[in-house]
């Protein structure tokens, strides 16, 4: 039976971006409030899975030409790189730095190097989740 999923596909296109923006919001909330790279990463992969359900693997691959296994490497690079940055300043491994900045539009903002580590977690979570889902999906 061929299903007609025009409504699903149209909604998915919009909802995809809503989930992504929410993921970004959750990601940046992570330093002081619940959230962070892990949850943000899961939400983002949730959004991609939605696209996979609405369309098919080929279409999604065309839209997002990313090798998710490389994304794991990239995430690890961010994580290990942030931690190893402390080697340059001769402070204990994993020590993070932060300061307050006056940014246009945002006003007084605190910027942390811990965010870069969290970005690494974000990438690794997307990479691992999508690799697992793709591997299972491909065999069908």
Partner 1 sequence: MINLPILPILIPLAAAIVLIFLSKSVSAQRIVSVIASTATVISAIIVMAKVKSDGIQTVDMGSWPAPFGITLVSDMLSILLVLTASVITLCVVLYSFRSIGSGRENFYYYPIVQFLLLGVNGSFTTGDIFNLFVFFEIMLMSSYVLIVIGGTKIQLRESIKYILVNVISSAIFVIAVGFLYSVTGSLNMAHISVRISEIGSEPIITVLAVLFLIVFGLKGAIFPLYFWLPGSYAAPPAPILALFGSLLTKVGIYAILRTYTLFFYHDQPFTHDILSMLALLTIVAGVIGALAYRDVKQILIYNIIIAVGILLFGIATMTEESIAGTVFYLIHDMIIKAGLFLLGGIMIYIAGTSNLNKMGGLIRQYPSLGWTFLLASFALAGIPPLSGFTGKLLIVRSGFAESEYVGSIIVLLSSLAVLYSVINLFMAVFWKTPETPLPDVKKRTGLLFVPAAALVVLSVLYGVGTEAVYPYVMQAVDALIQPEIYIDAVLKE
**Which residues bind to partner 1, rule: CB under 8 A?**
69-70, 72-73, 76-77, 80, 84, 86-87, 90-96
Complex with partner 1: residue 33 or 89, whichever CB lies closer:
89
Least CB distance from residue 66 to partner 1, whole Å?
13
CA distance 91 to 84: 10
Residues 12 and 51: beta-carbon distance below 8 Å:
yes
Least CB distance from residue 31 to partner 1, whole Å?
15
Phi, psi of 110 (to 5 degrees): -100, 130
Find where tokens 């999508």 sit: 130
Complex with partner 1: residue 64 or 97, whichever CB lies closer:
97
Residues 9 and 55: beta-carbon distance below 8 Å:
yes
Question: Cβ-count burial of 139 within 10 angstroms (0-12 exposed, 13-18 middle, 19+ buried)?
Answer: exposed
Complex with partner 1: residue 76 or 133, whichever CB lies closer:
76
Complex with partner 1: residue 60 or 71, whichever CB lies closer:
71
Least CB distance from residue 97 to partner 1, whole Å?
10
């Amino acid at each position: 039976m061929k299903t007609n999923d025009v409504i699903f596909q149209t909604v998915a296109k919009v909802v995809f971006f809503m989930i992504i923006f929410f993921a970004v919001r959750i990601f940046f909330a992570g330093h002081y409030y619940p959230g962070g790279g892990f949850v943000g990463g899961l939400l983002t992969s949730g959004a991609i899975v939605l696209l996979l359900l609405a369309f098919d693997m080929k279409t999604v691959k065309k839209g997002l030409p990313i090798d998710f296994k490389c994304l794991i490497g990239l995430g690890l690079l961010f994580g290990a790189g942030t931690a190893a940055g402390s080697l340059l300043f001769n402070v204990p491994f994993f020590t993070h730095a932060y300061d307050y900045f006056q940014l246009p539009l945002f006003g007084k903002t605190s910027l942390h190097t811990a965010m870069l580590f969290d970005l690494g977690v974000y990438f690794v979570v997307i990479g691992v989740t999508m690799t697992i889902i793709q591997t299972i999906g491909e065999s069908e």
